[in-house]
């Protein structure tokens, strides 16, 4: 049993944590790509397009863009804003998360909101972002090893995987969906950057060796069963957490589980040939839309349900 408001906060805590990590990685890869002799412009464009600000790539330097993406408190889609919101949600459910978990997040929040953060970032953006990502991993580890894996934890995990499925879909859409304005990404440096942005480079190499091709990347990030950042893996997790919650609650809690199960099955029984035949776009759009429907169903079932249905007779 937990408060509906608390479930809501834990869910958003998970989403903001995942968003902060993803944004940190995008900035980090983007800055790294521009260091090489070869043209890093495509990587910059991918990162900016993935956060919804494609621009024309000339108006701001990649460093300024990365700094804004990380430290701009005025932008709701920055790392610092995501962390501030994660902490705000964590503070509202301080009684539900363990001290170990809270401390990781609070420490990180204090670090990125510190007056010296701007200087630290310009002195060594790579180290700064590396530390932020490492701290977020510590947070997840602390949650995993110290929190009871009950309903509170499940809502947080649900938030993490919902956000992940949508972020990875969005990233792949930007790179591989057909579009009138830009072609598919095929440059080697850019493809490596895409894998880095999804934190997938090393696991990918173990499966496909150093042959880096769009087809393999799509196969890996959409369909791989074991890689924790593939869309299929994320949907399987979503389905698993929702079905555990439905089991605990009875009939009226099954709606989100059904939606998640359908999406999971869709990914389970499709393959990359089919994807190539019709293009990646439609499937990725389906994933984003289905996630939005699952999100709504979660709300209607667990959080903002109509009271008349639940009042004692």
Partner 1 sequence: MAAKTQTLDDAPTLPMTEAAYLPGVAYDEMFTPDGEVRPHYDPLHGRMSTLGAEELAGRQRTLERSFLLQGITFTVYGAENTTERVMPTDLFPRIIPADEWKRIELGLAQRLQALNLFLADIYGDQQILMDGVVPRELVLGAPSYRREMQHVYVPHKAYANVCGSDLIRCQDGQFAVLEDNLRVPSGVSYMLANRDAAKRTFPGTYRAAGVRPVERYPDLLLSTLKSMAADWRNDPQVVVLTPGVYNSAYYEHAYLARLMGVPLVEGRDLVVHENMVYMRTTTGLRRIDVIYRRVDDDFIDPLTFRRDSSLGAAGLFNAYRAGNVVICNAPGTGVADDKAVYAYVPDIIRYYLGEDAILPNIETFLCREKRQMGHVLENLDKYVVKAVGASGGYGMLVGPHASQKERDDFAEAIKADPDNYIAQPTIQLSTAPCLVDGRIEPRHVDLRPFILSGEKTIVTPGALTRVALKRGSLVVNSSQGGGSKDTWVLAEENGHANGNGNGGHR
Q: Work out the angle at residue 202's Cα, subtended by the Cα atoms of residues 199 and 207, and round it to the nearest 5 degrees.
A: 115
Instruction: Please select the residue that binds partner 1; options are 99, 145, 268, 289, rule is CB under 8 A.
Output: 99
CA 311 to each of CA 296, 300, 305: distance values in angstroms, whole numbers, following the listed order: 22, 16, 11
Residues 6+ apart with CB under 8 A from 24: 70, 79, 129, 132, 133, 136
Residues 163, 104: contact at Cβ < 8 Å? no
Residues 239, 264: contact at Cβ < 8 Å? yes
Residues 108, 139: contact at Cβ < 8 Å? yes
| Least CB distance to partner 1 at residue 252 (A) | 9
String of contacts with partner 1 for each residue 237-266, x by CB under 8 A: --------x--xxx--x-------------
Instruction: Please select the residue that binds partner 1; options are 12, 16, 102, 161, rule is CB under 8 A.
Output: 102
Instruction: Please select the residue that binds partner 1; options are 1, 35, 115, 210, rule is CB under 8 A.
Output: 1
Instruction: Please select the residue that binds partner 1; options are 55, 107, 188, 279, rule is CB under 8 A.
Output: 107
The structure tokens 């790179």 sit at 175
String of contacts with partner 1 for each residue 195-234, x by CB under 8 A: ----------------------------------------
142 CB-side CA count, 13 A = 16
> Of 3-11, 13-21, 44-52, 264-272, which part binds partner 1 (CB under 8 A)?
3-11
Which residue ranges make up the site for partner 1 (CB under 8 A)?
Answer: 1-7, 88, 91-92, 94-95, 99, 102-103, 106-107, 110, 151, 245, 248-250, 253, 302-303, 305, 307, 310-312
């Amino acid at each position: 049993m937990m408060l509906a408001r608390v479930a809501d906060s834990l869910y958003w805590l998970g989403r903001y944590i995942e968003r902060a990590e993803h944004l940190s990685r995008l900035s980090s890869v983007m800055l790294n790509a521009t260091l090489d002799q070869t043209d890093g412009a495509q990587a910059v464009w991918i990162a900016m397009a993935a956060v919804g600000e494609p621009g024309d790539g000339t108006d701001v330097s990649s460093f300024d863009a990365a700094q804004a993406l990380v430290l701009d408190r005025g932008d709701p889609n920055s790392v610092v804003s995501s962390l501030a919101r994660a902490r705000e949600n964590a503070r509202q459910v301080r009684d539900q998360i363990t001290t170990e978990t809270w401390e990781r997040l609070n420490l990180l929040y204090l670090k990125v909101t510190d007056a010296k953060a701007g200087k630290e970032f310009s002195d060594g953006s790579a180290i700064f972002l590396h530390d932020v990502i490492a701290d977020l991993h510590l947070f997840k580890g602390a949650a995993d090893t110290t929190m009871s894996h009950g309903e509170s934890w499940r809502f947080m995990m649900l938030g993490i995987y919902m956000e992940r499925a949508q972020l990875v879909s969005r990233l792949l859409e930007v790179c591989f969906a057909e579009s009138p304005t830009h072609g598919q990404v095929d440059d080697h440096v850019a493809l490596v950057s895409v894998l880095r942005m999804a934190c997938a480079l090393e696991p990918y190499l173990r499966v496909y060796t150093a042959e880096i091709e769009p087809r393999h990347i799509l196969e890996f990030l959409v369909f791989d069963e074991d890689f924790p950042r593939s869309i299929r893996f994320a949907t399987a997790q979503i389905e698993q957490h929702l079905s555990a919650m439905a089991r605990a609650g009875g009939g009226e809690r099954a709606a989100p589980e059904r939606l998640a199960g359908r999406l999971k099955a869709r990914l389970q029984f499709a393959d990359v040939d089919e994807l190539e035949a019709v293009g990646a776009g439609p499937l990725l759009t389906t994933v984003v839309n289905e996630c939005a429907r699952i999100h709504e169903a979660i709300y209607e079932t667990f959080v903002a349900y109509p009271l008349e249905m639940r009042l004692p007779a």
